[in-house]
Homo-oligomer: A and B are copies of this chain.
Amino acid sequence: MQVFIATIAGQEAILREDESFHCTRVLRKKAGDKIVVINGRGFMSQAILTHLHDKKCVAVLDGSPLAGHHRHYFIHLCIAPTKHADRTEWMLEKCIELGLDAISFFTSGNSERVHLKHERMVKIAESAVKQSLQSTVPSISELVKFGDLLRLDGYDEKYIAHCNGGDKVDLKSLPFTDKRTIILIGPEGDFTPEEIPAAKAAGFKSLSLGENRLRTETAGLMVCAAAALR
């Protein structure tokens, strides 16, 4: 089942330019071939290709929309990009496969990486959404500052995962279901001693991810897996 991102207008799906190129030049699809189209915002349908052009393919929707997988939780992961970009990219792909609604990349006091190829992240995200047969592309922020995250609101559950001591909520005990949850994960050197109390003052609770020392990107994966498995 091959999935393409398209604009839906009535019964017609117009594949995005890059998707049209992929459809015609790489996959060499023909008129009459069945595909699946998504709009990236929750719509998914089977469709039949009617018009092929490497900049604009058109397909006609075939029957009623497919029931995309509806998640019973909303998870916003805020994570510092790792020193090596490939670790962040791999994590993004996996988190989306497991289930993720929004991701914010941020820099904090101990960040070693302060640049992010946002466009590349969006490409990876779209590809993972299609691969895993989902219909919604998560929101992916440009690189923001740690302080900006503390001003976000509209969440039921707010956590900061760090390696310092003190009372912590166990990841296993988070409710997730029917909640909007935001979780902050720091860079390789963890959050600074000033950042943790700042987050607490903004209503974030300390979160424990278990006994093993996890790399930044593994911590991100673990959080998405925990939500998906609740």
Whether a CB of chain B sits under 8 angstroms from the CB of A229 is yes
Residue on B nearest A97 in the bound complex, by CB:
B218
- Complex Cα gap A62–B225 (Å): 38
Decide yes or no: A132 and B213 within 8 Å by CB, A90-B90, A97-B218, A218-B98 being known contacts. yes
Determine the chain B residues whose CB is within 8 A of the CB of A99 once the complex forms: 212
Flag A209-230 by CB within 8 Å of B: 1 or 0 each. Answer: 0111111001001100110111
Tell me which residues from 79 to 98 in chain A have a Cβ below 8 Å from any Cβ of chain B: 90, 94, 97-98
Residue on B nearest A211 in the bound complex, by CB:
B69
Whether a CB of chain B sits under 8 angstroms from the CB of A141 is no
Residue on B nearest A129 in the bound complex, by CB:
B212
Establish whether residues A221 and B215, one from each chain, have CB atoms under 8 Å apart when the complex forms: no
Whether a CB of chain B sits under 8 angstroms from the CB of A172 is yes
**Which residue, of A131, A171, A211, has the highest number of chain B Cβ atoms within 10 A?**
A211
Establish whether residues B212 and A97, one from each chain, have CB atoms under 8 Å apart when the complex forms: yes
Contact of A94 among B133, B221, B230 (CB under 8 A): B221
Given contacts A98-B221, A221-B221, 6 further A-B contacts (CB under 8 A): A132-B212, A133-B212, A133-B213, A172-B230, A210-B228, A225-B225
Whether a CB of chain B sits under 8 angstroms from the CB of A134 is yes
CB proximity of A3 to chain B, nearest CB, Å: 10
Contact of A69 among B212, B221, B225 (CB under 8 A): B212
- Complex Cα gap A225–B97 (Å): 14
Determine the chain B residues whose CB is within 8 A of the CB of A98 once the complex forms: 212, 214, 218, 221-222
Establish whether residues A218 and B94, one from each chain, have CB atoms under 8 Å apart when the complex forms: yes
Determine the chain B residues whose CB is within 8 A of the CB of A69 once the complex forms: 211-212
Determine the chain B residues whose CB is within 8 A of the CB of A90 once the complex forms: 90
- Complex Cα gap A95–B75 (Å): 22
Tell me which residues from 42 to 71 in chain A have a Cβ below 8 Å from any Cβ of chain B: 69
